[in-house]
Amino acid sequence: MYSVTAKNSPELHDGQPIYGPADSVASLSGKDAFANLGNLIAFEAKQSLFWEGDAAEYIYKVMRGVICLYKLLPDGRRQVARFCCAGDLLGLGQRATFQYTADTVTPVTLLRIRRADLEVELESNTCLRNELLAAVSDELRAAQDQLVLLGRKSAIERVASFIEAMAEQTLRRGGDARTVDLPMTRVDIADYLGLTHETVCRAFSQLKAQRILDIHDHHVVEIRQRDTLADIAAGDSAERLCA
Amino acid sequence: MYSVTAKNSPELHDGQPIYGPADSVASLSGKDAFANLGNLIAFEAKQSLFWEGDAAEYIYKVMRGVICLYKLLPDGRRQVARFCCAGDLLGLGQRATFQYTADTVTPVTLLRIRRADLEVELESNTCLRNELLAAVSDELRAAQDQLVLLGRKSAIERVASFIEAMAEQTLRRGGDARTVDLPMTRVDIADYLGLTHETVCRAFSQLKAQRILDIHDHHVVEIRQRDTLADIAAGDSAERLCA
DNA sequence: CGCCAACTTGATAACATTCAATGTAGGTGG
DNA sequence: CCACCTACATTGAATGTTATCAAGTTGGCG
């Protein structure tokens, strides 16, 4: 489980900390097409990696921990676009600047790859090219699902969808599908789901009251009725299930 | 301008109509890296091209007209993911099935390309590969902007954003930036913006009452105060502007 | 032990939806 | 040619979900 409450060590801010270079990645991820292109760097929780509009000199691969990508409106309203976990790539796209701001949610280890180096490698490396296209395509598909969630789902449906998605991710990483780790705060979740943190809270409470969830810790929930949760998440017969 | 009210000719449904093959495309689009890979087909307005989950044997390039891509929830709620106009590609992504349903909004001419043919061509054609990656990246960026709109913008901000985006598109195609063509219905717009058609209607009326828009025809609006519209769309000082 | 940040719960209010009625334009058929 | 029909658009009134504002509670850490 993640240590969410790690403090902002003043001596380690804004990405200075550097691990051993290049090939020490192998120990973390097995063989990785990206490993020999970049360096590992580490960040504490709750730090900024980059801001929307920054020159995108690097792209990143998350090796460990969770990162939150978001955009801000002028008056401070925030929309979280994505939570990036181990294996995810950040900073793709062909723009010279980042399209969103990135903060760490937990302590994080990143593989940092110079964009220019990547582009050279892409010329010859078909496998890498495919992996990259797959990453962008997956990101697009996830964004389209999120459009449906934000445009058409109710608060309870959004929260149920989120928990289900996090559970699936846990499962893919070989974890227990019933115990779900939620390292981010309620505010982060709210900004991801287009709700307020109070509304997210009430949805959690409601799912707990209906015995669909158990909430051990604020950041660890257990799914007790996976089918019902899935039905709510899918937007199916909400009136019956949420009565 | 588009003829929105074209009838559903019974003799021309579900994509049978076929134009001349391959190279007659040149006359429509100038040189086009995709042209010699596919065939042109035409559709009337308000027809289905394919459904979410269909086997994705082809990808399409829109040569003329407008197409609406959407997803449905089990109870019929609809979220429009995108309106595709001339030059846009449909059906990208590496999945064997379509990720959304596609209906024509206006009469449409498409270039239809067999996916297998495209993949063969991609092996050798660097230019085409780049064009494809650029298309996916653009689609992703548009989807991320839409996440902010759906998650955090008010009704009036959503409608202002939509009109502004349509105006920019008109401009890029060499049209007058003030006169904006909206070939889709209010329901289509509502399902794109995550609102009801009544709310969209009221937002149009409000923008008209504030003399920010003129509404000639239901499907043609004129922007009278571009700056104010842009401010509202950006979510800037909404309280002052919308008072 | 006490502080602080995150979380939870409650009361009220706002904005968008829902339900209902009316308006408008194009197309059809008498 | 006009009346009718249908689909789409607009406006009004009510209802409801979610946001906002306001207290409290909890848990981790100094």
Q: What is the pLDDT of residue A114?
A: 95
Residue B79 pLDDT > 50? yes
Q: Does the CB of A136 have a partner CB in chain B at under 8 Å?
A: yes
The encoded tokens of residue A105 equal 């949610």
pLDDT over 80 (residue A23): no
In this complex, which of B78, B94, B152 lies closest to A137 when CB atoms are compared? B94
Average pLDDT value for residue range A174-189: 94
CA-based nearest residue to B85, from B113, B111, B65: B65
pLDDT digits (tens, 9 = 90+) for A206-231: 999 999 999 989 999 999 999 999 99
Tell me which chain A residues have a C-beta less than 8 angstroms from the C-beta of B70.
none
Asked if the Cβ of residue A235 lies within 7 A of any atom of strand D, the reply is no
Q: Per this entry, what is the length of chain B?
A: 243
Q: Which residues of A170-182 are buried (b: 16+ CB within 10 A; e: fewer)?
A: beeeeeeeeebbb
Q: Would you place residue A35 in the very low, low, confident or very high pLDDT band (cuts 50, 70, 90)? A: confident
On whether any CB of chain B is under 8 Å from the CB of A206, the answer is no
pLDDT given for residue A138 in this prediction = 94
Higher pLDDT, B73 or B36: B73
Nearest to B158 by CA among B194, B207, B201: B194
Mean pLDDT across chain B:
87
> So what's the pLDDT on residue A31?
55
Residue B19, pLDDT above cutoff 60: no
Q: Is the pTM of this model over 0.75?
A: yes
From the list A61, A79, A67, the residue with the least C-alpha distance to A105 is A67
